[in-house]
Structure 1
């Protein structure tokens, strides 16, 4: 198993659908994560809440599951 510098291989980022959430996704992508699946959205009565899964590949193609 390769060293991923203590980073999680899978993360589910959630939050209000705003510039801050988009910034967090952009930072994860810049940090080597890739999008996994489609985003999810819901409305909580006041705001739109979104979720996006991201994964960090370890370079072993046998362990990568396509999105």
Structure 2
């Protein structure tokens, strides 16, 4: 089964730690990161897609992607 997640957050160390944690759990970067200004909060926001292959399981919409 192929899994996809899009990680988002403010442009800070916590976002970098979120991506680093995913990489250390076996997720791989997918594409380029995104960076945009959030006018509502007045902050910069980051986004990064990550993907992962998990053998032996079938996809179901109820899967909690963060548990992999």
TM-score under structure 1 length normalisation: 0.71
**Length, aligned pairs only:** 53
* C-alpha RMSD of matched pairs (Å): 1.8
| Residue ranges of structure 2 left out of the alignment (5+ in a row) | 56-68
Where has structure 1 moved over 3 Å in runs of 4 or more?
none
Deviation of the 1:44 alpha carbon: 1.4
TM-score if structure 2 supplies the norm length?
A: 0.70
Unmatched segments (≥5 aa) in structure 1: 2-7, 60-67
Q: Hey, what does 1:42 align to over in structure 2?
A: 36
Quick check: which one's strand share is greater? Answer: 2
